[in-house]
């Protein structure tokens, strides 16, 4: 028997969406880099492996010779894994797909998880910035294992001889993917061919993309929107490209804009309920700005100097600058 033939299949899972069965396969080995791994000095090996299995983005765990466990997240340049022996006292657990027939069984063969030289495949359900679903394969090199990343594909059109595949996307074309604490979300700048749309028209602006009016939930989302605002400003050759955000001050807070409630997300009527606070908004002044002068609707600025900052304007007319559209968003496709 090979000295490398050591494995234990610890945990099963079947996805409700596409009947994927995944297991954690344990081998003697160590990664060449721990740059995407997090140490868990207080966890047992079995618990560490279980955490990785239940964490969508985790693809492998490592136990070093001091019995410190690491969980390693998916990325585009996964570390290669060097094969070791029992005497080295280092081991790995890979998250890989298995055939449905092995739901209650352990695969067998040399050099797992690439049993008998067959390439293994894993599903971390990770997504690129433009919403393409990524998976990974693991291949055996003779001295260890290497990862390759690919975009998950599905059949689009078939002829008598050929089937054509397209990358599976979680976002509408042109929308960027973001993982919020409570939802996976896609965002883009929706715009019209004319300046000075009104807040009441923003629903129609977003509906043409199959989306709804959106807020922002992180600095990453703001950064992505600034990139889009800059691109649209340059494409249309305009001095500024400003858009409505999902926030219209409530009637109560128009009268008392500086109370604790009115300075929070509760002070505004919103469509995008997955935004739970105002932490990601970069206010020109603060959340009470413009309330006493009729400026009740939030706008994100794209004027070079104040890119990504938000201010308030009247909702339907008398804008101090052109407003070209709105921030639009939709829940990511599963």
For 52-79, what is each residue's pLDDT tens digit?
988 877 889 999 999 999 999 887 778 8
- Report helix, strand or coil for 133: strand
Which CATH class for the 176-331 domain? alpha beta
Start-end ranges of CATH 3.10.100.10 in the chain?
A: 176-331
Helix intervals (H) in the chain: 45-54, 202-207, 219-236, 251-255
What is the rounded CA–CA span in Å between residue 265 and residue 253? 11
Q: Is the pLDDT of residue 10 over 70?
A: no
pTM: 0.63
Mean pLDDT to the nearest integer, 268-295 = 96
Contact 288, 263 (CB under 8 A): yes
Q: What is the C-alpha to C-alpha distance for residues 279 and 264, in angstroms, rounded to an integer?
A: 9
Q: What is the pLDDT of residue 200?
A: 94
Does 113 sit behind a cis peptide bond, omega within 30 degrees of 0 on the bond before it?
yes
Name the 3-class secondary structure at 215. coil
| Token duo for residue 109 | 């063969």
254 vs 4: CA distance, rounded Å:
70
Tens digit of pLDDT for each residue in 113-129?
877 777 787 776 566 66
30-61: buried (b, 16+ CB within 10 Å) or exposed (e) per residue?
bbeeeebbeebeebebeebbbbbbeeebbbbb
pLDDT value at residue 160: 58
Residue 186 pLDDT > 60:
yes
Contact 60, 36 (CB under 8 A): no
Q: Which two tokens stand for residue 298?
A: 């939030």
Rounded Cα gap, residues 133 and 170, in angstroms: 7
pLDDT in tens, 220-256: 999 999 999 999 999 999 999 999 999 999 999 999 9
The residue written with tokens 């959340």 in the block is 287
In sequence order, the 6+-apart residues with CB closer than 8 A to the CB of 196 are 319, 322, 323
Among candidate residues 111, 46, 52, the one with its CA nearest the CA of residue 83? 111
Check residue 96 and give its pLDDT. 87
């Amino acid at each position: 028997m090979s000295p490398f033939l050591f494995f234990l299949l610890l945990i099963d899972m079947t996805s409700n969406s596409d009947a994927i069965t995944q297991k954690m396969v344990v081998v003697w080995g160590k990664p060449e880099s721990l740059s995407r791994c997090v140490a868990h000095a207080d966890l047992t090996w079995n618990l560490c492996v279980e955490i990785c299995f239940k964490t969508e983005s985790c693809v492998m765990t490592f136990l070093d010779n001091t019995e410190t466990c690491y969980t390693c997240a998916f990325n585009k340049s996964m570390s290669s894994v060097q094969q070791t022996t029992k005497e080295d006292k280092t081991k790995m657990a890979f998250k890989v797909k298995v055939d449905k027939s092995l739901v209650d069984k352990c695969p067998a063969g040399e050099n797992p998880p690439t049993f008998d030289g067959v390439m293994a495949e894993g599903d971390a359900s990770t997504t690129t910035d433009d919403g393409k679903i990524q998976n990974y394969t693991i291949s055996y090199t003779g001295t260890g294992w290497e990862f390759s990343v690919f975009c998950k594909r599905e059949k689009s059109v078939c002829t008598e001889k050929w089937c054509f595949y397209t990358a599976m996307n979680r976002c509408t074309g042109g929308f960027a993917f973001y993982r919020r604490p409570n939802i996976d979300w896609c965002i883009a700048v929706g715009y019209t061919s004319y300046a000075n749309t009104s807040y009441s028209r923003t629903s129609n602006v977003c509906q043409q993309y199959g989306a709804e009016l959106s807020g922002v939930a992180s600095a990453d989302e703001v950064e992505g929107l600034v990139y889009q605002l800059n691109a649209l400003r340059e494409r249309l050759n305009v001095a500024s490209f400003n858009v409505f955000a999902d926030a219209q001050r409530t009637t109560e807070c128009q009268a008392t804009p500086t109370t604790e409630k009115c300075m929070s997300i509760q002070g505004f009527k919103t469509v995008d309920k997955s935004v739970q606070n105002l932490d990601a908004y970069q206010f020109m002044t603060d959340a009470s700005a413009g309330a006493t002068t009729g400026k009740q609707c939030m706008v994100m600025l794209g004027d070079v100097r104040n890119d990504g900052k938000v201010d308030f304007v009247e909702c339907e007319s008398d804008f101090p600058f052109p407003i070209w559209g709105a921030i639009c968003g939709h829940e990511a496709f599963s």
